[in-house]
Amino acid sequence: MHKRTIRDVEWHGKRALVRVDFNVPIQDGEITDDTRIRAALPTIRALMEAGAKVVLMSHLGRPKGQPNPKYSLAPVARRLEVLLGRPVAFAEDCVGPAAEAAVERLAPGGVLLLENVRFHPEEEKNDPAFAAQLARLGDVYVNDAFGSAHRAHASTEGVAHHLPAVAGLLMEKEITVMGRALTDPDRPFIAIIGGAKVSDKAPVLENLLPKVDALLIGGGMANTFLVAQGYELGKSLVEPDAIDTARRLLQQAEQAGKRIHLPTDLVAADAFAPDAPHRTVPVCAFPAEAMALDIGEATVAAYTEVIRTARTVVWNGPMGVFEMPAFAKGTVAIARAVAEVHGTTIVGGGDSVAAVEQAGLADKMTHVSTGGGASLEFLEGKVLPGVAALQDK
Q: Identify whether 36 is a catalytic site residue.
A: yes
Which of 293, 339, 346, 365 touches ligand ADP (CB under 6 A)? 293
User: d(Cα 380, Cα 365) in Å, to the nearest integer?
Assistant: 21
Min separation Cβ 39 and Mg ion, Å: 19
Q: By CB under 6 A, which span of 117-125, 279-287, 350-358, 384-392 interacts with ligand ADP?
A: 350-358
Backbone φ and ψ of 186, nearest 5° = -70, 140
Closest CB to ligand ADP among 95 and 226? 226
Q: Identify whether 197 is a catalytic site residue.
A: yes
Which of 350, 358, 364, 366 touches ligand ADP (CB under 6 A)? 350
Active-site position among 51, 61, 65, 350: 350
Residue 236, classified by CB atoms within 10 Å of its CB into exposed (0-12), middle (13-18) or buried (19+), is buried
A 10 A CB-CB count for 356 gives 27
Q: Identify whether 372 is a catalytic site residue.
A: no
- Residues contacting Mg ion: total by CB under 5 A: 2
Q: By CB under 6 A, which span of 132-140, 224-232, 313-321, 361-369 interacts with ligand ADP?
A: 313-321
A 10 A CB-CB count for 212 gives 29
Q: By CB under 6 A, which span of 25-33, 126-134, 142-150, 311-319 interacts with ligand ADP?
A: 311-319
Segment holding 26, helix H or strand E: strand 26-27
Closest CB to ligand ADP among 127 and 380? 380
Q: What is the residue-wise DSSP string for 246-303?
A: HHHHHHHHHHHT-EEE--SEEEEESSSSTT--EEEEEGGG--TT-EEEEE-HHHHHHH
Strand pairing report for 312-316 and 189-193:
parallel
Partner that binds at residue 320, options ligand ADP, Mg ion, none, CB closer than 5 to 8 Å by kind = ligand ADP
Binding mask 215-234 for ligand ADP (x = CB under 6 A): ----xx--------------
Min separation Cβ 218 and Mg ion, Å: 14
- Quick check: 351 binds Mg ion (CB under 5 A)? yes
- Quick check: 377 binds Mg ion (CB under 5 A)? no
User: d(Cα 218, Cα 183) in Å, to the nearest integer?
Assistant: 24
A 10 A CB-CB count for 350 gives 16
Closest CB to ligand ADP among 115 and 351? 351
- Residues contacting ligand ADP: total by CB under 6 A: 19
Partner that binds at residue 292, options ligand ADP, Mg ion, none, CB closer than 5 to 8 Å by kind = ligand ADP
Extended beta strands in 152-284, E state:
165-167, 189-193, 214-217, 259-261, 265-269, 278-282
- Quick check: 290 binds ligand ADP (CB under 6 A)? no
Which of 350, 357, 358, 380 touches Mg ion (CB under 5 A)? 350
The b/e string for 162-193 (b: 16+ C-beta within 10 A; e otherwise) is bbbbbbbbbbbbbbbebeebbeebeebbbbbb
User: d(Cα 320, Cα 238) in Å, to the nearest integer?
Assistant: 14
Per the DSSP assignment, residues forming a β-bridge with 381 are: none
Distance of CA 87 to CAs 109, 137, 288, Å? 11, 19, 62
Min separation Cβ 349 and Mg ion, Å: 6
Closest CB to ligand ADP among 138 and 218? 218
Partner that binds at residue 158, options ligand ADP, Mg ion, none, CB closer than 5 to 8 Å by kind = none
A 10 A CB-CB count for 240 gives 8
Distance of CA 266 to CAs 143, 193, 297, 305, 337, Å? 43, 16, 8, 18, 19
Q: 5: which DSSP letter?
A: B
- Quick check: 196 binds ligand ADP (CB under 6 A)? yes
Which of 81, 297, 323, 357 touches ligand ADP (CB under 6 A)? 323
Residue type for position 26: I
- Quick check: 147 binds ligand ADP (CB under 6 A)? no
Q: Identify whether 350 is a catalytic site residue.
A: yes
Interface residues toward Mg ion, by CB under 5 A:
350-351
Q: Rule CB under 6 A: which residues touch ligand ADP?
A: 195-196, 200, 219-220, 237, 292-293, 316-318, 320-321, 323, 349-352, 372
* Active-site residue set: 36, 197, 350, 373
